[in-house]
Amino acid sequence: MKKIGFVGLGTMGAPMASHLLKADYEIIVYNRTKEKADELIAKGAVFANSPADVARQSEVVFTMLTADSAVEQVVLGANGILEGANEGLIVVDSSTISPKTSKKLAAELAKKGVEMLDAPVTGSEPQAIEGVLTFMVGGKSEVYEKCAPLFEIMGKASFHMGENGAGSYMKLANNTLAAINLLSLSESLIMATKSGIDPELFVKVVSGGGARSGMVDNKTGKIISRDFRPHFATALMHKDLTLATDLAAELKLPVPVLSLVRQMLQMAISNGFGNEDMCSVIKCYEEWAEIEVTSK
Binding site for a copy of itself (CB under 8 A): 99, 122-124, 127, 134, 136, 156-157, 159, 161-162, 166, 169-170, 172-178, 180-181, 183-185, 187-192, 194-197, 201-202, 204-206, 208-216, 218, 244, 247-248, 251-258, 260-261, 264, 285, 288-289
Is 171 known to be catalytic?
yes
Of residues 88 and 209, the one with the C-beta less far from a copy of itself? 209
CA distances from residue 273 to 64, 65, 99, 228 in whole angstroms, order as listed: 23, 21, 28, 9
Query: Which CB sits closer to a copy of itself, 25 or 202?
Result: 202
Cβ burial 88-105 (10 Å sphere, 16+ → b, else e): ebbbbbbbbbbbebbbbb
CB-nearer residue toward a copy of itself: 5 or 165: 165
- Least separation, in Å, of the C-beta of 40 and a copy of itself? 26
Q: Which of 103, 104, 171, 239 is catalytic?
A: 171
For residue 239, give the nearest of 97, 83, 110 by alpha carbon.
Answer: 97
Are the C-beta atoms of 113 and 145 separated by less than 8 Å? no
Q: Could you give the dihedral angle defined by the CA atoms of residues 161, 178, 9 and 26, in that order, rounded to the nearest 10 degrees?
A: -40
Pairing of strands 46-47, 26-30: parallel
Query: Nearest approach, Cβ of 2 to a copy of itself (angstroms)?
Result: 29
Shortest Å, Cβ 85 to a copy of itself: 28
Least Å from the CB of residue 177 to a copy of itself: 4
Active site positions, annotated: 171
